[in-house]
Amino acid sequence: MKRPVRVGAGEKLVLTANRLLDGRIVWRDHDGHWAARVGAAEKLDADAVSDVLEEAQARAQQDGVVGVYEVAVRDVDPPEPVTVRERIRAHGPTVHPEFSVEAGQ
């Protein structure tokens, strides 16, 4: 059973997954493509996410991703994941900023 995502005031939802070829964490943009940066993610309202999520899950194999699900983010640019787990997924391991995922891009 899927765990519901709580969306608070000033928050939106984005879709995330893992790329099959290399395991990288990816984020779905507004064109339906998967990007390696959370800043490219399309921010969705809670009432609109179910259709987009269903479509993304149905196309996951074609798009080369696995484990598609939604993540609550603060509605800022770039979107900032609410939970610690998702912030680590978005920005890389908890290491010096020089070695983070964002620094290499």
Print the domain residue range for 95: 11-103
End-to-end CA distance of the chain: 36
Q: Is 101's pLDDT higher than 70?
A: no
Length of the chain counted residue by residue: 105
Examine the pLDDT at 52 and tell me if it is beyond 90.
yes
The H-or-E segment that residue 51 falls in is helix 49-58
Does residue 6 lie within any of the structural domains?
no
d(CA 86, CA 39): 13
Residue 26 confidence (pLDDT) above 70: yes
Tokens 């984020």 — which residue? 27
Instruction: Decide if 4 is inside a domain.
Output: no
What average pLDDT does range 53-66 have in this prediction? 97
Q: Is 83 domain-assigned?
A: yes
For the chain, what is the domain count?
1
